[in-house]
Amino acid sequence: MTQLRRFLAVLRHPLPGTITFMVLWALFVKFLLPYLGGWLASSDMFSIRRGLPSSGKELSLYMTLAALATLCFLMYNGERWRRCQEPVWVFLRWKHPFQRGVLIALPLVIGAMVFLVQSGTGSEPVANPILHPTPPDQFSKLRNPFRNPSGEMLAEFDAALLAGEIDAEASTEADVIAYAKALSDNEASEADRLRAFRRHVIEEGRVLFMINCRPCHGAGAMGDGPMSVGQRRVPLDFTGVETIATLVEGAVFWRVKKGGIKLPREGAPWESAMPSWEADLTDEQIWKVIMADYDIAGNAPRESEGFSTETTSEGNGPE
């Protein structure tokens, strides 16, 4: 109890109290606030699994506002402001080699941190910004395995429908419902099979899109989500012909997986607030989101040379 009282007494001093407050505020903004926003934005507040996407710019903004508010609070009372400065002046008057080492090391550490944060980042062009950075070759050549499923994937789809693992009656897709009935009556065609498979994937992708992408990109993929207002560069309207309609799906997969913050050199000079999703979504889920993205926007992906998105091929997704 004595140690606890001493600790609380230290926190009641303006300077340690301010430092503690700023650290706790940074942890709250970085880790808790996105999940609080995700909980409030979720249609089902008890099933939210991840927070809303956030960027370092938002953290910097909130920390700057907190620092200014704290400074105003400290300076409002003369005695409080004097007590806050007192330890600093005591340290500056302290004639000791340790003091000199701290005064030399502090600017070097701050400079190194700034260098590590800023090194390797491209600056945005002043005018005529590019809409899409160039993806690495290994991504631009990828094909969506769900748009062009293998025979094995289609057979597994049929088996899941027949076994009841996929509840066709609960589906919102008419093609899935109709194909399930035709399959049970042995009247299903290959064309119906492929169409139902794709619509089922899009249905799953829409759920993932609404949970993870809607806050910024909007329910209609028009870039008008509730989190788009505070972005320095507003998310693009995917319903236009000049956005995702000009991209192959491998390029979209790269942007979703790697994000737009601190893109590698291949993406310079582009930078956006798009977070990286590779730690939150599997490759399979990303491909499903992409299927839904194009469907919601009413667009089709650009076809790679010598390849049609309407033909069935063996799986070509990433390992």
Which DSSP symbol is given to 290? Answer: H
User: Tens of pLDDT along the chain (319 residues)?
Assistant: 677 677 677 677 888 889 999 999 999 888 888 777 767 665 555 554 556 666 666 778 889 999 999 999 999 999 999 998 988 888 888 888 888 888 889 899 988 888 887 665 544 443 444 566 777 778 878 899 999 899 999 999 999 999 999 999 899 999 999 999 999 998 889 999 999 999 999 999 999 999 889 988 999 999 888 888 767 677 888 998 888 888 889 989 988 998 876 555 555 556 677 888 888 889 999 999 999 999 999 999 988 665 544 443 333 343 3
Angle formed at CA 196 by CA 291 and CA 298, multiple of 5 degrees: 35
In 77-120, alpha helices (H):
78-93, 97-118
Contact criterion met (CB below 8 Å) for 271 and 260: yes
**Cα pseudo-dihedral 144, 147, 152, 153, rounded to 10:** 90
Q: What pLDDT is recorded for position 210?
A: 92
Q: What pLDDT is recorded for position 228?
A: 82
Q: What pLDDT is recorded for position 209?
A: 94
**Residue linked to tokens 């291949």:** 266
CA distance 151 to 313: 8
Prior bond of 215 cis (ω within 30°)? no
Q: What pLDDT is recorded for position 309?
A: 47
Q: What pLDDT is recorded for position 51?
A: 60
Q: What pLDDT is recorded for position 313?
A: 35
The pTM of this model reads 0.59
